[in-house]
Structure 1
Amino acid sequence: MSAEMTVVPVGHVVGGRVEPTDDYWGDSRAIIRIDPERFTEGAVVGLDEFSHLEVVFRFHLTDPEDLHPEPRRPRNNPQWPAGGIFAHRNMRRLNWLGVSRCRLLKVDGLDLHVADLDAVDGTPVLDIKPWFIEMGPRGEIRQPAWPSEMLADYYAEPPTS
């Protein structure tokens, strides 16, 4: 179980947010720039037919010492129940992997213009997949109430000051 593997980014996030935040990712825009040293434009042929992408990335700004495998409360909110590391979707993980589903706005060469990607400028992108409706959850979906409460403003537009 302890075999290590090497993963090479297929690209990086360019633009958009520079700091990760808990909420207000709505209306965020960025570019996923695919590595031209490894890929040609042939790698994205047909991608523009899809409205959404599933992006696997590395939380590159996370402190490696900031792991929390023991149960803890989401966002340290005492109103929400404690859960273990695999009951959370945050950056405090052994391999610092994130998964995001975002809207694909435009394909321009090896630049994928996206919206609602909750990754910041400079984030290494490990894989990109088109979203297939058929690959979404099957069967009844259930979850406790706290994720809906916690994420009420996640994709809201940032408040104006």
Structure 2
Amino acid sequence: MISLEAIGVIHTPYSTNAPYQPVHNDTGEFYIELDERYEEGLKELLRFKYIYVIFYIDKLQEKPKMRFTPPWLANKELGLFATRTPCRPNPIGLSIVKLINVIDNRLYVSGLDVFDSTPLLDIKPYIKELDDKSDANYGWLNDLDNREHFMLHIKGIPHDY
């Protein structure tokens, strides 16, 4: 049996609709309220420019499907693990955000792609040498005729169709 406990709460302006990925320059207030028991663990974190935010996707209603077609990709069936859909066997989310400030047990960050009051599971520093993979590729996205347009969708960037 695996047991996880929230160590804080993520606050965003989203109550019914959130972007698919973090939008760096999104408007609104984005902050993480860490349980005071863990405040000491924030020492030196502000020296990092970016952090990983690991959270529990608690407002999901759908059951995961091992194969599905994304709504904006007609006729392209994909395996669940070849996608970044939030609908997963274990609804755990991961986002990289810019750390703007730390005041007491609050971390002010750039735009996060979660609903307000999402349970926080963990925070880790993003370390350039360890986390930046220069040889990363686009996998099945390379097969798309309109990859640039699709990327706008998955980044949640408004655009003309």
The TM tier, using the shorter chain, reads: 0.7 to 0.9
Cα offset for 1:68?
1.1
The verdict on how the C-alpha distance between 1:155 and 1:116 changes in structure 2, with shifts beyond 3 A counting, is farther
Q: Which residue does the alignment assign to 1:60? A: 58
Whole-angstrom distance in 2 between the partners of 1:155 and 1:101: 15
The verdict on how the C-alpha distance between 1:22 and 1:151 changes in structure 2, with shifts beyond 3 A counting, is farther
Letter in 1 for 2:43: V
Question: Is the 2:53–2:123 Cα contact (8 Å) retained in structure 1?
Answer: yes
Letter in 1 for 2:46: D
Segments of 5+ residues of structure 2 without an aligned counterpart are none
Whole-angstrom distance in 2 between the partners of 1:95 and 1:23: 18
**SS, match of residue 75 in structure 1:** coil
Q: Which residue does the alignment assign to 2:35? A: 35
Cα offset for 1:139?
5.1
Aligned length: 150
Whole-angstrom distance in 2 between the partners of 1:99 and 1:149: 23
4+ residue segments displaced more than 6 Å: none
Cα offset for 1:116?
2.1
TM-score, structure 2 length as denominator? 0.81
Higher helix fraction: Structure 1 or Structure 2? 2
The verdict on how the C-alpha distance between 1:23 and 1:88 changes in structure 2, with shifts beyond 3 A counting, is closer
CA RMSD of aligned residues (A): 2.3
Question: What percent of counterpart residues are identical?
Answer: 24
Question: Is the 1:74–1:88 Cα contact (8 Å) retained in structure 2?
Answer: no
Cα offset for 1:77?
2.5
TM-score, structure 1 length as denominator? 0.81
1:75 and 2:55 are equivalent in the alignment? no
